[in-house]
């Protein structure tokens, strides 16, 4: 009986070990790290195994700091300050990974956890970042998408209609440009010179080409609509140039 009892204990131990191995296989290899500094709304420097790694948060994207477009220029700093509050220097975090570990810039691609909280999703939940996929890495996408939709429903962050950083303001900026260009064309057809219309159309085309479709989708545009919009403006520009002296 004593031998049988030992066998049961050994078998139980093997089951526990196998379960841990399976969890590691199916959930990825998590690592512990310490925050050094936040770079921007989706990038942070973390010391991992004694090495300072520039970590790009997976499946969430925030505007770059210094983006000159009126609306995006205020979302970027807000996202950065939010991440600094979530990940102050010295805080302990856990990193988890997907299929591709690094991007073309050499940054480590990871999900960052503080306790059970997925920081990647928290950025989207605050309405300061959008879901995005890098290559084959979509493991944390659903969490970010759900958080993003919650922010939309609750009008948080860039979904706050009273905020100067609202997606609705971004949509309005684009629509204002379209109206301006079409107004110039109307004036042109009534005898104005074509240079002003050409310049207005060129500025709008440049604005569309520089726009991030993922971010503009928050303002009500998708990639197909952006292409259609660009085509309208290009046609407007061609018509303006046709009557230029």
Report the catalytic residues: 56, 64, 107
Q: Could you identify the residue written with the tokens 């310049």? A: 199
Q: Could you identify the residue written with the tokens 């545009």? A: 221
> What whole-number distance in Å separates Cα of residue 28 and Cα of residue 33?
16
> What whole-number distance in Å separates Cα of residue 139 and Cα of residue 244?
54
The pair of structure tokens assigned to 206 is 């440049």
The pair of structure tokens assigned to 186 is 């109307």
> What whole-number distance in Å separates Cα of residue 60 and Cα of residue 3?
55
The pair of structure tokens assigned to 164 is 């100067």
The percent helix, strand, coil of the chain (3-state, each to 5) is 55, 20, 30
Enclosing H/E stretch for 223:
helix 223-242
Helix axes 195-210, 223-242, angle to 10 degrees: 160
């Amino acid at each position: 009986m004593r031998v049988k009892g030992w066998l049961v204990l050994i078998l139980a131990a093997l089951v526990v070990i196998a379960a841990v191995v399976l969890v590691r296989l199916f959930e990825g290899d998590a690592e512990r790290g310490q925050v050094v500094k936040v770079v921007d709304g989706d990038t942070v420097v973390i010391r991992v195994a004694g090495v300072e790694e520039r970590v790009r948060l997976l499946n969430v994207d925030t505007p770059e700091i210094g983006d000159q477009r009126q609306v995006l220029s205020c979302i970027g700093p807000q996202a950065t300050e939010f991440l600094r509050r979530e990940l102050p220097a010295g805080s302990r975090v856990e990193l988890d990974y997907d299929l591709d570990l690094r991007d073309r810039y050499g940054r480590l691609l990871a999900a960052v956890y503080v306790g059970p909280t997925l920081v990647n999703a928290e950025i989207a939940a605050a309405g300061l970042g959008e879901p995005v996929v890098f290559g084959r890495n979509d493991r944390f996408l659903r969490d970010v998408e759900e958080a993003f939709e919650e922010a939309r429903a609750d009008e948080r962050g860039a979904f706050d209609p009273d905020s100067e950083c609202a997606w609705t303001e971004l949509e309005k900026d684009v629509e204002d440009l379209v109206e301006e260009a079409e107004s110039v064309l109307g004036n042109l057809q009534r005898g104005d010179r074509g240079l002003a219309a050409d310049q207005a159309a060129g500025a709008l085309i440049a604005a569309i080409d520089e726009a991030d479709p993922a971010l503009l989708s928050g303002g009500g545009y998708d990639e197909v609509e952006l292409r259609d919009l660009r085509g309208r403006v290009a046609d407007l520009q061609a018509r303006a140039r046709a009557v230029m002296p």
